[in-house]
Amino acid sequence: MISPIGLSPNIERDDVISAWSVLCTPWRWYKNDARKTVISWFQKRFNTPYVFLFASGRSALTQLLRAMRIGKGDEVIIQAFTCMVVPNAVHFAGATPVFVDIDLSANCDLKDIERKITPQTKAIIVQHTFGTPANMDAIIALAHARHIAVIEDCAHALGATYKGRVVGTIGDAAFFSFGRDKSLSSVFGGCVIVKDAKIAERLGELERRAPKPSRFWIVQQLLHSIITSIVLPIYTSVIGKGILVVSQKLHILSFPVLVSEKRGEQPDRYVMQYPNALAILLLTQLSKLDAYTKTRNTVALLYKNAFEKNKKVTLLQASEGSSCLRFCIRVKNQEEVMRRAKQKGVILGNWYHATIDPIGSDIVVAGYINGSCKNAERLAKECVNLPTRISASDAHVVIQIINDAI
């Protein structure tokens, strides 16, 4: 079976072994050795001394905005066709998110950014959707001419480059996610890198003041890798799904997005330090990043060649340097394609099947107005995500399923 695209597709045997090892050695959970190694990796990869770790990418963004002294009365431009946790992060910092529409690459539209800049605009968050770099030169030129900061959202784009430059080093700051379905995963976790020394000093203080996660929370994340490795081979069966659902309802496993977050409410202990326990898991993944990126790009090229002349499929605009976390196609019968694939044992992805995802998020609380970003709304009804960290033979299976469904 091809691993479900939204259920920890990165998990391999060595990741499960690492999770078992950490689970059985709790004296390592709050040390700092693995954290230091992770920080060193990011410092070298992104050529910056200023690297800060938090327990999630969303809280890392909130703390970054606070360190940049962006808060009450300030506006932050973000794109529609995103996750609810992004506008939440802006709200939790005290600022107001302003949504802009997307272009044909599913990244923020430059003209709409320009239309929605006001004297209160203090930052633009640029989401590199699906690992495809946004038009950074034009966005930075527009923003810096108006003394507006540019923050790169690299949750999908670890491993991507833009015109030869590493994505994450182009704006004034960047944040990353190590969530269960991201480029690299430690189940939860996030990172911030910045260029300005004063912002870095304030971020460092915020990081030090953040509480440590509880042992129970750490156990939940460690068990995720272990239980998921059991569930994945039987996920399409009643037993597989049952194990996952029961584990979440009994709080043996955590949810990626809480119900309270869908309502726009800040959860308890929203900001926490990134524990050494999860840093150990991440180290196993960091060594695989370049190989993962190569595989994803190879598979993305197979999809491109298979669908670019198919009149029933529309492809997003791509650019060189993409890390292709997922490959998005646009089809008119989105639900039918997803259903047919599921019948064949392939669970495709649904980023983002709502303009502000996941389904059930309170878009009014998020600050989104229906009809304000029509391209994003249209794409949400048409997009289907194809897995990219799979073998070429599995990719051909996916291609055949899509062709049959349309």
Encode pLDDT of 7-51 as tens digits: 888 889 999 999 999 999 999 999 999 999 999 999 999 999 999
394 touches 1 (CB < 8 A): no
Q: Is 253 left (phi over 0), alpha (psi -120 to 50) or beta?
A: beta
DSSP 27: G
pLDDT attached to residue 396: 96
> Is the pLDDT score of 235 beyond 80?
no
Q: Provide the residue ranges of all domains of the chain, joining segments of one domain with +.
A: 13-209, 289-405
Distance of CA 68 to the CA centre of its chain: 22
CA distance 150 to 225: 34
Name the pairing type of β-strands 326-330 and 383-387: antiparallel
CA distance 216 to 200: 30
Encode pLDDT of 271-306 as tens digits: 999 999 999 999 999 999 999 999 999 999 999 999
**Which residue carries 């540019």 as its tokens?**
150
CA distance 189 to 271: 11
CA distance 22 to 396: 37
Percent of the chain whose pLDDT exceeds 90: 88
Asked, as a colleague might, if the bond just before 352 is cis with ω within 30 of 0, I would say yes
- For the segment(s) 13-209, the CATH number from 3.40.50.720, 3.40.640.10, 3.30.420.10, 3.40.50.300 is 3.40.640.10
pLDDT attached to residue 1: 62
Q: Which residues lie below 8 Å from residue 219, measured CB to CB, with a gap of 6+?
A: 23
pLDDT attached to residue 234: 77
> Is the pLDDT score of 230 beyond 70?
yes
pLDDT attached to residue 297: 97
Distance of CA 287 to the CA centre of its chain: 19
Q: Which residues lie below 8 Å from residue 175, measured CB to CB, with a gap of 6+?
A: 57, 60, 61, 64, 151, 152, 153, 154, 155, 190, 191, 192, 193
Quote the CATH superfamily of domain 289-405: Aspartate Aminotransferase, domain 1 (3.90.1150.10)
**What letter represents residue 37's amino acid?**
T
130 touches 351 (CB < 8 A): yes
> Is the pLDDT score of 233 beyond 80?
no
Distances 323 to 95, 99, 129, 183, 327 between C-alpha atoms, Å: 31, 25, 10, 8, 10
- Residues of 215-226 as b/e, b for ≥16 C-beta within 10 angstroms? eebbbbbbbbbb
> Is the pLDDT score of 329 beyond 70?
yes
